[in-house]
Amino acid sequence: MSDVRTSRGGGFDRPSLAQLLGLHNEEFVRAAYARLLEREADPEGLRFYSAELLQGVDKLDILERLSQSDEARTRGTGRLEGLKEAIEQRRHQAGKWQRAFRELSGAHSDALARQIRGIDQTLRGATQQANSETAEIKGALAEVRSQVRLIAEAVADAQASDRSDDAKTLRRSTASEISLAHEVVRMKTFLGDF
């Protein structure tokens, strides 16, 4: 999906319901504002709805509130194909689960469901951040490999041209580079275990 946080030619990208529901945390809130209100999220709204997500409020509830807001009604912008049906389906499903949970535990499940959704949002955000950091580490590893390859080529050239003193100096300086490369490979192996 393209970047929904920016306007193009006075309009905003129009992500589908499925695309919106695939976003998380602030990215979701920004995209929901862009889609339903055709503007960027104001700082207060961004903070409020991001906090709501972390507390476990369902994304469909937030989309419903935005689509039914006075601003959306006044501007005629709150329409999103499939939203009404998805809300009805979720309510129907939630009713079944709540009844089953009450039968099993004798407790009301709304608070627990909110906590679970909050944990889910937090984990999804952490996963996105970890994926981003992993990509940065992979880029750094590629750069280190490239540098080690260049140094190894320089050492080979020095040895081939019978400049043994220069080669010894290069070998000493590359020892620390190679050690660094081994450390990066160990980090990559460790991160790969996640």
pLDDT < 50 regions, the chain: 1-11
Instruction: With respect to residue 155, please indicate whether it lies within any of the assigned structural domains.
Output: yes
Is the same domain home to 96 and 139?
no
Residues 6+ apart with CB under 8 A from 177: 144, 147, 148, 151
Domain range enclosing 179: 133-192
Model confidence over 30-47: pLDDT tens digits? 999 999 999 999 999 999
179 within domain boundaries: yes
What predicted TM-score, i.e. pTM, was given to this entire model?
Answer: 0.49
Quick: pLDDT tens for 125-146: 788 788 778 878 888 888 888 8
Q: Are residues 98 and 141 in the same domain?
A: no
Alpha carbons 11 and 77: distance in angstroms, whole number: 12
In a domain, 152, yes or no: yes
Residue at 99 is within a domain: yes
User: Per DSSP, which regions of the chain are E strands?
Assistant: 7-8, 11-12
Nearest C-alpha neighbor of 155 from the set 143, 171, 144: 171
Contacts of 53 (CB under 8 A, 6+ apart): 24, 25, 28, 29, 59, 62, 117, 118, 121
Give the pLDDT of residue 192.
64
